[in-house]
Structure 1
Amino acid sequence: MKQLLRALKRCTVIAAVALATVSLQPTASAAPAPVVGGTRAAQGEFPFMVRLSMGCGGALYAKDIVLTAAHCVSGSGNNTSIVATTGVVDLQSSAAVKVRSTKVLRAPGYNGTGKDWALIKLASPVNQPTLKIATTTAYNQGTFTVAGWGAATEGGGQQRYLLKANVPYVSDAACQDAYGGSLVPSEELCAGYLATGGVDTCQGDSGGPMFRKDNAGAWLQVGIVSWGEGCARAGYPGVYTEVSTFASAIASAAATL
């Protein structure tokens, strides 16, 4: 019962012209949209954002490494099948920079519950700013920003333009109550409008970053879009991988790519 609540939220697989929402986690379900309740991002506003060809999002951890969700990839090893699109908010723009993957490293021990992070090595570096990740829990509260090209409504298709929205922190206790105890508090972070819903990430946003400004005014990634019940439903906040928990492991893994 507990596992049935781990509704996979944000992964879409693109086949031919059709978009199909699929659960890549053992017992997951649908997720928040590109940002249900979001608005269009301006060109250059979040230059670290990456769209992945398997229907997920990500952020540039390094010029040639994308940080995304473990449930977006099938495992670790050499992989040239993923195409990362960067540099644009409009996926159809002729200015889009597309780079193929060479290798994937999925979080060691990932089994569908927690540890939802992965790194994708790119064939060549891209000329875009990277997104610094949180190394402590100091920024794990407050109001966060989410962005993505996922569905704008539950069950909808991916978006052409990057959407953005702000979501407030939801305590571990409140999130645990919402999901019947299926949260992994030491590895996951929740955000959203618990009482009203209406704003969230969704199918196709998996792997994308949740971020906020640090004390110096720079963007800092605190979460990775992971799972939830539906999209923007009242009573069910979005659940994100708590980046600070895995900062050291991510850095060590990146050094091997």
Structure 2
Amino acid sequence: MKRQLVRWSSLAAGALLATGAMAFPAQAGEVTPGVVGGTRAAQGEFPFMVRLSMGCGGAMITRQVVLTAAHCVGATGNNTSITATVGQVDLQSASATKIKSTKVYRAPGYSSASSGKDWALIKLASAVPAAVTTLPIASTTAYDSGTFTVAGWGAASEGGAQQRYLLKANVPFVSDASCASAYPGLVQAASLCAGNLASGGVDTCQGDSGGPMFRRDSANNWIQVGITSWGEGCARPGKPGVYTQVSTYASAISAAAATL
């Protein structure tokens, strides 16, 4: 049995909904890293990153639209219950910008993360500040291999607490064949896998769901190739992270974003 299928913490979300604010572990000097095996991101290093109030991540793909995972949101329609935090690696920073949602668009036909179509869009009530950049999405498979970067405010260890500071890590591509051996029934056309297959140790984890997996394109600019989706545990040997393959859904994502 999978310990935690999707990389979203229902316990953290429950606490958030009850209190209206994310709870963080007590700090004594340096904060415990989030993203298993990660290091703290510098302020402004990934200005497209978004933290969502239900306990997921995301990325700005336009000045007013966030790309995240379908399993993080409810049905398509008007929705003013989500708050997006942008512009700061420190979620407790007084200068972080917080913007409410107005609409959610969940991929048509979505049923579960492991079945594919695990993408969604959130329209914000206003455009993000100029310092918050957008992250282009990959429209072909040209960048669906190599070494990827992941980032998020999720747990630093399997079952751990959500984090205050944005963490980053590099994860290597895992072939569809190897990933399917780890996860029989993997929907290969919908999935992009990454992680240290033999040793584990570096991975996204609970609370990182919906956040981007990205790499440099031919012009040395960041491009999003994946959306943090699911996996068995966090950073386990032989169990890579599974990401929604953005290139598979790029045209549908772009078309939907244009209608919001």
TM-score by length of 1: 0.91
1:153 has 2:153 as partner:
no
Query: How has the CA–CA distance of structure 1 residues 178 and 5 changed in structure 2, closer, same or farther, with 3 Å as cutoff?
Result: farther
Which is strand-richer, 1 or 2?
1
Deviations 1:79-114 (A, max 9, x none): 000000000000000110000000000000001010
- Structure scoring higher RCO (CA < 8 A, sep ≥ 6) equals 1
Deviations 1:122-170 (A, max 9, x none): 0000021100000000000000000000001110111000000000000
Residue 144 of structure 1 corresponds to 148
1:94 has 2:94 as partner:
yes
Residue 128 of structure 2 corresponds to 126
TM-score by length of 2: 0.90
Residue 117 of structure 1 corresponds to 119
Residue 252 of structure 1 corresponds to 255
Which amino acid in 1 is paired with 2:253? I
SS in 2 for 1:105: strand
Cα separation, 1, equivalents of 2:120 and 2:3 = 22
How do 1:1-257 and structure 2 match up within 5 A?
Answer: 7-11=5-9, 12-13=12-13, 14=16, 15-16=18-19, 34-112=34-112, 113-127=115-129, 128-179=132-183, 181-257=184-260
Which aligned segments of 4 or more residues in structure 1 are displaced greater than 6 angstroms? none
SS in 1 for 2:234: coil
CA RMSD of aligned residues (A): 1.7
Which amino acid in 2 is paired with 1:247? A
Alpha-carbon offset, residue 9 of structure 1:
2.1
> Is the CA contact 1:10–1:225 (under 8 Å) kept in the aligned structure 2?
no
Which amino acid in 2 is paired with 1:9? R
Which amino acid in 2 is paired with 1:185? Q
Structure 2, unaligned stretches of length 5 or more? 24-32
Cα separation, 2, equivalents of 1:45 and 1:228 = 26
Cα separation, 2, equivalents of 1:137 and 1:184 = 16
Query: How has the CA–CA distance of structure 1 residues 18 and 245 changed in structure 2, closer, same or farther, with 3 Å as cutoff?
Result: closer
